[in-house]
Amino acid sequence: MAVKLNPKALTNARKLIKSGKVERDVRDDWSEHAPSTDAENAFIDKHGFADYALWHLGRDDDESDGTKGSVSFPFGDFRKIHRCAVISLESRAAQYGHDDIRDAAKKLLELIDSD
C-alpha cells in the first residue's frame, strides 16, 4: 500500500480549524461520530468524489482514482473536523509507519488545542 499525505485534505483541515469548524470531542468518540457508509455515499452523490477526498489525510495512488479505497484517514463528518478523528488517525498512521500523515495529524491537533 502506497499511502501518502493528501496535501489538499491537509489544507482543507487547516481551513476548517481556522474557521472554527471543529468538534472538540474526546479520543474514543470517533467510532460513534464517524459518518456511516450511507452518509458517505450521499455526500459523494451530492458533492463528488474530489470533495469527499478532501476529508481524508491519506491518498493511495496505487488504487483506482475515484474509489473509496484510494483515500484513507478520515478526519471529519463533512461539516466539521473532529478532534477524536485526528487522534485516531494519528495513532493508526504511526502504527502503520505513515510518518508524514502522523506528523500532519499531530500538527492539526496542536492547532485544534491552541484555540
With bands split at pLDDT 50, 70 and 90, how would you rate the model's confidence at 1?
Answer: low
For the chain, give every domain's residue range. 3-114
Q: Which three cell numbers stand for residue 102?
A: 502522523
State the pTM of this model.
0.94
Torsion of CA 107, 112, 113, 115, to 10 degrees: 130
pLDDT single digits (tens) 86-103: 999 999 999 999 999 999
